[in-house]
Amino acid sequence: MLDRLNFPQPGLSLTLFVIWQILSEGVSGGSIVLGLILAWLIPQLTHGFWPERPAVVKIWRMPIYVMRVLKDIVVASCSVAWLILSLRTPRPAFINYPLKLEHPLAISILASTISLTPGTVSADISDDNKTLLIHALDAASDQEVIDAIHNRYEKPLMEMFQ
Amino acid sequence: MNPFAEYAISALLLFGGAFTLVGAIGLARLPDFYTRLHGPTKATTVGVGAIMLSSVIYFSASGESIDISEILITVFLLMTAPVSANMLAKAAMHIGVKTVDNTEGHPWEQ
């Protein structure tokens, strides 16, 4: 029993603890106790789902990437809004995106980015983690979408997870 | 309250509301399940983001301390929206939902 009283992912535990203090109104004895319980319990329960940590993560590149994604979300939202309001019929497409990223964490960040930026939703990943199925709302050509995703999102992620 | 803050809050609320409305129109107007998936995921990201920003400005300008919990709500939304969109798409492919005729490419067999 005692050997389970550890924190397998200190970073995750610390994040959970801090988030709980922010969410509960004001730090008190109760919020600290409950925060500690959650910081211990949640990593224990989710431990099996986490991929192995990548060897090198250049975390300082993350803010630049997040800013770029936020800007793209706003710009592309406007174009999707325009598409919805104009009476033009969209040209939807399923696109097989060839992945160059290898680490599962990097791939899931890329897939989430694709879903967050308007106009594309990542639908599935092949069993060998080599191909991502993307549904695009309005694609002029497959190659255009693939190039855009590769240059804007996959390249920075590859630099981050090398 | 500072008039500039009031203008900023009104503008952000209108902007966020407009995007949420367009997302809802998209849900009604787009032709098939997969294209409809795009409407709500976009409305959440930009619409909720703008409304959250206006809420942060309101509580900061009305003299209370800056409240980070609203930003956390948006962060959680941004983290969960792609997962739900992905699960919806996978489920749709699993039961073989029909795509609109001019769709290029095919969903995968599940």
What's the ipTM?
0.77
A11 has pLDDT over 90: no
Strand arrangement, sheet containing A120-125: A93-98, A131-136, A120-125
Residue B107 lies in a domain: no
Domain that holds residue B42: 8-95
pTM for the model stands at 0.80
B45 membership: H or E segment, kind and range: none
Cβ B81–A115 below 8 Å, yes or no?
Answer: yes
Residue B78 lies in a domain: yes
Residue B29 lies in a domain: yes
Residue B100 lies in a domain: no
**Which tokens is A61 given?**
């590149």
Going from the C-alpha of A47 to that of each of A13, A36, B62, the distances in angstroms are 11, 17, 43
Which residues from chain B sit within 8 angstroms of residue A111, using beta carbons? 82, 86
Domain spans, chain A: 2-49, 59-161
Which residues from chain B sit within 8 angstroms of residue A113, using beta carbons? 82
Residue B110 lies in a domain: no
Domain count for chain B, please give it: 1
* CATH 3.30.1120 corresponds to the domain A59-161: no
Chain B's closest residue to A137, CA to CA, is B35
The residue among A18, A69, A94 with the most chain B CBs within 10 A of its CB, best to mutate, is: A94
B34 has pLDDT over 90: no
Residue B12: its pLDDT value, please? 92
Which residues make Cβ contacts (< 8 Å) with residue A131, sequence separation at least 6? Answer: A96, A97, A98, A99, A125
Please name the residue that has the structure tokens 């900061």. B60
**Can you state the angle between helices A29-46 and A10-23, rounded to 10 degrees?**
140
